[in-house]
Amino acid sequence: MLDLLHAWLIAPFDYGFMRRAVVGGLALSLAAPPLGVFLMLRGMSLIGDAMAHAILPGVALGFLLAGFSLPAMSLGGVLFGLAVALLAGAVSRMGGQREDAAMASFFIISLAAGVMLISLGGSSVDLTHVLFGSVLAINSTALVLIAGMTSVIVVTLAIMFRALVVECLDPLFLRGQSRYSGWVHSVFLGLLVLNLTAGFQTLGTLMAVGLMMLPATSARFWSKRLEGLIGLAIVLAMLSSTGGLLLSFHLDLPSGPSIILLAGAGYLVSALCGRYHSLAARFRRRARPLERP
Amino acid sequence: MARASTLRLDDLHLAQGQRSVLEGVSGTVAGGAVTALIGANGAGKTTLVKALMGELDPLAGRVECTVPRARRAWLPQQLALDLSFPMSVEELVMTGTWPSHGALKGYCAAHYRRGREIMARLGISGVAHRPLGELSGGQRQRALIGRTLMQEAELLLLDEPFANIDAKTVDILMPIIRQMADDGATVIVVLHDMDHLKRLADDVLLLRDGGGEWLSPAAIAAPGSPAHAAGGAPHA
């Protein structure tokens, strides 16, 4: 029994690439879920998806100019993502168009531009790699990059936590209290771009959103408190990223989809039997009216 | 202890979009007093409140206000509050420490004690750890007043604070608002109910036909005065 557990859970990490992959996954699992929780609470769950598309042309440009160099691709991704976020914000401010509408327009342009760029300069193998990532090819440069970016995210979130909470709850109050209130939203979007760029190497630009949103949306079925939501989302993300890696190792599956599908399974289970608003909770509520109050 | 006035309106012209709402409102709002803002629907009460908070730039004229932004509190009629956000009453009240604590400074025991005292005064200690989304309208209004107390607000703008609120909450809030004014705060309340006005107001600003008239509460609330309710024209 112990041997079996060892073979399943410990032995895979004798390989260097698995060790690096799991560290990268855990680092992402620490940074992404809090962002996802705030996105979800602000009703911006789909903005993450849009931003993920928005970084693609930047990644592609980095790839075209510098070859398969992670720092160049990441830099391109961050710069392009920030540019799209700024443009979308500017359009929504000047035209009265809502930010999500502007964002939707820009991200679809970005996606097309990114795919076009990669097709012009590379092969479909490169495209697959950028879109879906390859957790098993993380080298130590990539690991340092991921760790650096996720550290920036976690530290910045800690510093702006109260401002972010107040901005989500009552933007008008924050506007009265602080001259910097307008920055809170911008910095938050910047962290989002940073997180998606950190995740694209491991999970691909499209899947990076999954590790951010799925643990957050699952946690909503279990906790009504902000600390609970964030803590639980981080735990769920860590379990999915490590479990997904092991599954992909043993069953010879692609790593990105394994991680996200495992997180997706967690979401489905939560939706079925979570404490609040789940199917089971509804069933319990319906069964209760006959009891004494 | 009444203080020198903190708020002066100087020939204020305001517009909402393309529509001119107020033309040439002047006057001084006394510090340490409760000023009721009345007028028919569409007379420009909310527009004026927005301008006082600095959320709306006047077409002409100015608002002079000596109270720093962080000590101004505004409870709009349509709350921007996201009630689905997982935050408890106590946490909401504690965010009122922003002027002294900003985004970074930690709360110490003395501030938590003050928060609890404020909640006790408002009768919401029992729901201190309840999420905001599960409160009644009255409890929510008391929690928001709790935040302004924590904020030590010196300028308080309340837009119909007693609309759709239970009588018990009104009875709790009236003396607290009175006390804030007595402590020196400038309080401006948009009111519809003449009974509330009689109980609370020291001065009255009636908005009508794009202008403002300063009146005494006695003149407004005099029996037979048609200024009742929606704030029609009082007989001179």
Domain of residue B49, CATH code: 3.40.50.300
Q: What's the pLDDT score for residue A250?
A: 92
How many domains does chain A divide into?
1
Q: What's the pLDDT score for residue A290?
A: 55
Q: What's the pLDDT score for residue A46?
A: 86
Q: What's the pLDDT score for residue A233?
A: 97
Q: Mean pLDDT throughout A1-13? A: 86
Residue of A nearest to B132 (CA): A169
* Position B234 confidence tier, pLDDT thresholds 50, 70, 90: very low
Judge whether B30 lies within some domain.
yes
Distance CA B177, CA A292 (A): 41
Q: What's the pLDDT score for residue A95?
A: 67
Pairwise CB contact (< 8 Å): A224 & B86:
yes
Q: pLDDT over 90 for what percent of chain A?
A: 39
Q: What's the pLDDT score for residue B222?
A: 63
Judge whether A37 lies within some domain.
yes
A276 vs B: CB within 8 A: no
B214 vs A: CB within 8 A: no
A198 vs B: CB within 8 A: no
Q: Which of A208-212, A256-260, B52-56, B138-142 has the lowest mean pLDDT?
A: B52-56
B67 vs A: CB within 8 A: no
pLDDT tens for each residue of A29-74:
999 999 999 999 988 888 888 888 888 888 888 888 887 778 888 8
How many inter-chain contacts (A to B, CB under 8 Å) are there?
Answer: 63
Same domain, B133 and B183: no
| Cβ proximity of B44 and B210 under 8 Å | yes
pLDDT(A292) > 60: no
Q: Mean pLDDT throughout B124-140? A: 90
Q: Which two tokens stand for residue A8?
A: 């399943």
| Interstrand relation of B60-65 and B7-16 (parallel, antiparallel or unpaired) | antiparallel
Q: What's the pLDDT score for residue B230?
A: 44
A160 vs B: CB within 8 A: yes
Judge whether A183 lies within some domain.
yes
Q: Mean pLDDT throughout B63-76? A: 86
pLDDT tens for each residue of B106-125:
888 889 999 999 999 999 99
- Mean pLDDT taken over chain B: 84
For A18, the domain range is 2-212
pTM, two decimal places: 0.86
Compare B65 and A137 and report the one with higher pLDDT: B65
- Domain finish residue from B105, B123, B153: B153
- Name every residue whose Cβ is closer than 8 Å to that of residue A99 and which is 6 or more positions away in sequence: A88, A89, A92
Q: Which of A27-36, A232-241, A262-271, B152-161 has the lowest mean pLDDT?
A: B152-161
Pairwise CB contact (< 8 Å): A165 & B87:
yes
Same domain, B113 and B128: yes
Q: Show residues of chain B in contact with A185, CB under 8 Å.
A: none
pLDDT tens for each residue of B84-108:
889 999 999 999 888 888 888 888 8
Pairwise CB contact (< 8 Å): A226 & B86:
yes
Pairwise CB contact (< 8 Å): B69 & A176:
yes
* Position A119 confidence tier, pLDDT thresholds 50, 70, 90: confident
Compare A235 and B222 and report the one with higher pLDDT: A235
- Domain finish residue from B121, B153, B185: B153
Judge whether A242 lies within some domain.
no
The ipTM, to two decimals, is: 0.82
- Name every residue whose Cβ is closer than 8 Å to that of residue A156 and which is 6 or more positions away in sequence: A187, A191
B104 vs A: CB within 8 A: yes
pLDDT tens for each residue of A195-205:
999 988 778 77
Pairwise CB contact (< 8 Å): B84 & A168:
no
Same domain, B161 and B227: yes
B95 vs A: CB within 8 A: yes
Distance in Å, alpha carbon of B56 to nearest chain A alpha carbon = 13
Same domain, B63 and B96: no
The residue written with tokens 């999500």 in the block is A100
Distance CA B110, CA A141 (A): 48
pLDDT tens for each residue of A272-286:
999 988 888 888 877
Which member of B70, B92, B131 has the closest CB to residue A177?
B70
Of the candidates B67, B70, B5, B61, which has an alpha carbon nearest to the alpha carbon of residue B33?
A: B5
B232 vs A: CB within 8 A: no
Judge whether A207 lies within some domain.
yes
Same domain, B195 and B234: yes
Pairwise CB contact (< 8 Å): A168 & B82:
yes
Same domain, B50 and B103: no
Half-sphere exposure of A136 (CA within 13 A, CB side): 17
Same domain, B52 and B119: no
How many domains does chain B divide into?
2
Q: Show residues of chain B in contact with A42, CB under 8 Å.
A: 82
Q: What's the pLDDT score for residue A180?
A: 81
Pairwise CB contact (< 8 Å): A169 & B85:
yes
- Window 42-71 of A, Cβ < 8 Å to B: 42
Q: Mean pLDDT throughout A216-221? A: 95
Q: What's the pLDDT score for residue B118?
A: 93
Compare B3 and A121 and report the one with higher pLDDT: A121
Q: What's the pLDDT score for residue B235?
A: 35
Distance CA B27, CA B140 (A): 33
pLDDT tens for each residue of B178-193:
999 999 899 999 988 8
Distance CA A226, CA B91 (A): 11
Same domain, B142 and B158: no
Q: Mean pLDDT throughout A110-124? A: 80
Q: What's the pLDDT score for residue B11?
A: 87
What is the number of residues in chain A?
Answer: 293
A133: left (phi over 0), alpha (psi -120 to 50) or beta: left
Of the candidates A157, A155, A151, A148, which has an alpha carbon nearest to the alpha carbon of residue A75?
A: A148
pLDDT(A122) > 70: no
Give strand pairing partners of B63. Answer: B9
B17 vs A: CB within 8 A: no
Q: Which amino acid is at B152?
A: E
Q: What's the pLDDT score for residue A136?
A: 67
Of the candidates A151, A187, A181, A176, which has an alpha carbon nearest to the alpha carbon of residue A163?
A: A181
| Interstrand relation of B72-75 and B155-159 (parallel, antiparallel or unpaired) | parallel
Q: What's the pLDDT score for residue A32?
A: 95
A165 vs B: CB within 8 A: yes
Q: What's the pLDDT score for residue B2?
A: 44
Same domain, B235 and B167: yes
Distances (CA, A) of A95 to A24, A99, B159: 41, 10, 29
B52 vs A: CB within 8 A: no
Same domain, B119 and B8: no
Residue of B nearest to A172 (CA): B80
Which member of B53, B88, B95 has the closest CB to residue A166?
B95
Q: Show residues of chain B in contact with A217, CB under 8 Å.
A: none
pLDDT(A177) > 70: yes
Q: pLDDT over 70 for what percent of chain B?
A: 91
Judge whether A156 lies within some domain.
yes
DSSP-assigned letters across all residues of A207-271: HHHHHHHHHHHHHTTT-SSHHHHHHHHHHHHHHHHHHHHHHHHHHT--HHHHHHHHHHHHHHHHH
Residue of A nearest to B105 (CA): A162
For B26, the domain range is 1-67+154-236
pLDDT(B226) > 80: no
Q: Mean pLDDT throughout B130-152? A: 90
Judge whether B74 lies within some domain.
no
Q: Mean pLDDT throughout A93-103? A: 75
Judge whether A198 lies within some domain.
yes
Q: Show residues of chain B in contact with A229, CB under 8 Å.
A: 86
**Which of B56, B65, B69, B159 is most worth mutating to test chain A (most A CB atoms within 10 A of its CB)?**
B69
Distance in Å, alpha carbon of B200 to nearest chain A alpha carbon = 25
Judge whether A201 lies within some domain.
yes
For A39, phi then psi, to 5°, come to -60, -45
Distance CA B59, CA B20 (A): 9
Judge whether B73 lies within some domain.
no
What is the distance of C-alpha B14 from the center of its chain? 20
Q: Which of A92-101, A172-181, A234-243, B142-151 has the lowest mean pLDDT?
A: A92-101
Q: Show residues of chain A in contact with B98, CB under 8 Å.
A: 166, 173-174, 177-178
Q: pLDDT over 70 for what percent of chain A?
A: 94
Provide the CATH number for the domain around residue A89: 1.10.3470.10
Q: Mean pLDDT throughout A152-162? A: 95
Which member of B53, B80, B88 has the closest CB to residue A171?
B80
The residue written with tokens 């029992």 in the block is B126
| Cβ proximity of B87 and B132 under 8 Å | yes
Q: Which two tokens stand for residue A47?
A: 């903005």
- Domain finish residue from B111, B136, B153: B153
Q: What's the pLDDT score for residue B225?
A: 54
Q: What's the pLDDT score for residue A88?
A: 80
Distance in Å, alpha carbon of A153 to nearest chain B alpha carbon = 17
